[in-house]
Amino acid sequence: MTTVSRCVGAPMTRVDGLDKVTGAARYAYEFPTQGVSYVWPVQATIARGRVTEVDPAPALALPGVLTVLDHTNAPRLNSEAEASADLFVLQSPQVAYHGQMVAAVVATSLEAAREGAAAVRVSYEREPHDVVLRADDERLEIAETVTDGSAGLVERGDADAAWADAPVRVDQTYTTPVEHVSPMEPHATIAVWDEDRLTVFNSDQGPYMSAQLLSALFGIELSAVEVVAEYIGGGFGSKGIPRSPTVLAALAARAVGRPVKIALTRQQMFQLIPYRSPTIQRVRLGAGRDGRLTVIQHESVQQRSALVPFADQTVSSTRMMYAAPNARTTVKVAPLDVMTPAWFRAPGHTPGMFALESAVDELAEALGMDPIELRIRNEPENDPESGKPFSSRNLVACLREGAARFGWEHRDPTPGTGREGRWLVGTGVAASHHPDYTFPSSAVARAEEDGTFRVRVGAADLGTGARTALTQVAADALGIPVSRLRLEIGRASLGMAPFAGGSLGTASWGWAVDKACRALLKELDVYAGVVPDGGLEVVADTTEDLGQRADLSRHTFGAQFAQVRVDADTGEVRVDRMLGVFAAGRIVNPHTARSQFLGAMTMGLSMALLEIGEVDPVFGDFANHDFAGYHIAAHADVPRLDVVCLDETDNTSNPVGAKGIGELGIVGAAAAIGNAFHHATGERVRDLPIRIERSR
């Protein structure tokens, strides 16, 4: 770096904070649109079978109803498009899951659309369904690939022989339930066609990538699709690609020849937006009496839908966390008559590390060893799976720093001995991990004649602070104060850019922004610093720069600590305090980074104690589908949370030095709480969410 950094690393207040709190920030549903109409989906009341008839007459008789769409009359999507089968909305009479869209009503008012949808009569040919995940399901198959691109089965050494020989062993099964992604802003879209040009105002994690998908689905040029996602009220993976409501809005707008809006109700979120697959995970750890792992076996059983072979990377953290010479890690999936599961914050890693880090705690107990010491003893030199050196790995530093801050040394390791009145009190620790991804991105930097600069990048800010972080990166690269800079994000037409997913946004977009700004300064030198008439603009693209990244194993790490109290009489579980210590490269903005970690740790607490989608085997639906029945952590559940980011210099990552932080904070949090629960009570709960009656 040549420019002295002034902005990156400073706890800058959000540049869009004022717009957000004053209502000036525009979310997808809020764009003023002339002559807009509304679409409301009609959802399947069976879990498997086919639609035999849709009777639109009662709906069409209602005032304001414009049309009723079903698979017989909806505009055709490009059947060749490379898109998830879930997105071929109203293209077939097949019903693959309860709640799937089977028809839709478009009307001049929201109320008329909703009333119309209730009036549509749908007949079905019903087939028997199966929505329950079982470890002994005969249809279970090893996933060919999981969502991080790795194989469903990976083995090193001889995992069976090592298991047979291991002097100390832990063999346990852990389960995690269906967890619903619950962003504050439900999915919303306004779709507008102008001849063959489509504009969607979408609550969306990746406007450019969404435009690519929509152009494929509708069989139109990428340049004919604009996706606008200026502000987004959270996504957590669920808005990583357009989901069925976005496609429905575009289909409906096509059909009626006017703009169409949709905004899901909270209940519809549970029925139409993918969730985190439940898992049944068997973990076997074998170690010598010195605590060195000789073998790890981790098998995760998960579900997919009949439509899509989705498989979370639930065992991927296990592949590189610890220095075991022998390992077998497997993801198996069963095709069920369910909505396709999908990404939910740190997909795979979150449930996977609940199981692994609980098992490590159990091994520590079996060995009579401190769980932090056990982890340090199994710290690998290089990535144990790939053999590659780590670009940076500071798990041990996180564990040590956390132990010192949390007061770990005063802990009596004996479970069930901490008591405060009627409360049993215990503490627990777990490691956290997330891959450090970077995708190619482009960015445009422009010098204006008036001495100001404009930077454009197709990023999305889900509420993470991306707009602020990228402003900091651009200001530093240009060597100017933020007041001379205008940053534009949140549109597909700003250029090729990856989505706000996989915690890769800041590193990927930041790299392109940095590159564009520096190239612009060089270009300006040619003009001796005087901006030519009409301004000067430079486009940068990092596609070529990403090559060397493959030589190193790139990850972020953390240590999660929790103190839990359990009412000895009622079994009420409360978390007293949590501490997360993270090492994730250069922290561009400590203020917004801390918020990310606080949110993720809260989500981990919510996972540990509250969240469960209750599957109804009879109707094939979720029995709870609102916040009355599906509980997420509220303020009263959230204790004192502390976040510490270690200084980590990873000069190999990108010119900004940033790694991803959005997902790291949830990983391991539930295991730390579960381990603390065990320390408090002497009981082990291996099935989330933790409830006293589940201890075994």
Residues that bind ligand MOS (CB under 6 A): 205, 235-237, 240, 343-345, 347, 501-502, 663
Residue type, 484: R
**Considering the complex, what minimum distance in angstroms separates the CB of residue 344 from ligand MOS?**
6
Q: Which is nearer to ligand MOS, 611 or 663 (CB)?
A: 663
Contact yes or no for 272/244 (Cβ under 8 A): yes
Nearer to ligand MOS, 174 or 344 (CB): 344
Helices 466-478 and 505-526 sit at what angle, rounded to 10 degrees?
30
663 is known as an active-site residue:
yes
Residue 294 or 464 with smaller CB distance to ligand MOS? 464
Q: What single DSSP character describes residue 540?
A: E
* Residue nearer to ligand MOS on the CB measure, 240 or 558: 240
Q: Which of 195, 663, 683, 693 is catalytic?
A: 663
Q: Which residues contact 695 (CB under 8 A, 6 or more apart)?
A: 681, 683, 684, 685
Min dist CB 662 to ligand MOS, Å, is 7
C-alpha 110/C-alpha 4 separation (Å) is: 54
Q: How far apart are CA 510 and CA 443, in angstroms?
A: 9
Spatial separation of the C-alpha atoms in residues 20 and 470, rounded to whole Å: 18
Contacts of 356 (CB under 8 A, 6+ apart): 283, 296, 298, 317, 318, 321, 671
Minimum gap (Å) between residue 272 Cβ and ligand MOS:
17
User: Considering the complex, what minimum distance in angstroms separates the CB of residue 339 from ligand MOS?
Assistant: 16
What is the C-alpha R_g of the chain? 26
Pick left, alpha or beta for residue 527 (phi over 0 → left; psi -120 to 50 → alpha; otherwise beta): alpha
Rounded CA separation 504/667 (Å): 16
Nearer CB in complex with ligand MOS: 349/679: 349
CA distances for 511 relative to 439, 501, 654, angstroms:
10, 16, 6
- Check if the beta carbon of residue 337 is closer than 8 Å to that of residue 131: yes
Alpha-carbon gap, residue 245 to 28, rounded angstroms: 13
Nearer CB in complex with ligand MOS: 500/680: 500
Q: Which residue, chain included where needed, has tokens 């697959």?
A: 277
- Closer of 295 and 667 to ligand MOS (Cβ): 667
240 vs 613 by CB, closer to ligand MOS: 240
Report the candidate in 333, 358, 270, 274 with the shortest Cα–Cα distance to residue 139.
333
Minimum distance of ligand MOS from residue 267's CB (angstroms): 22
C-alpha–C-alpha distance, residues 679 and 419, integer Å: 11
How far is it, in rounded angstroms, from Cα 360 to Cα 364?
Answer: 6
Distance CA 514, CA 5 (A): 12
Q: How far is the CB of 214 from ligand MOS (least distance, A)?
A: 19
CB of 461 to ligand MOS, least distance (A): 13
Closest distance of CB 501 from ligand MOS, Å: 4
Q: Which residues are catalytic?
A: 663
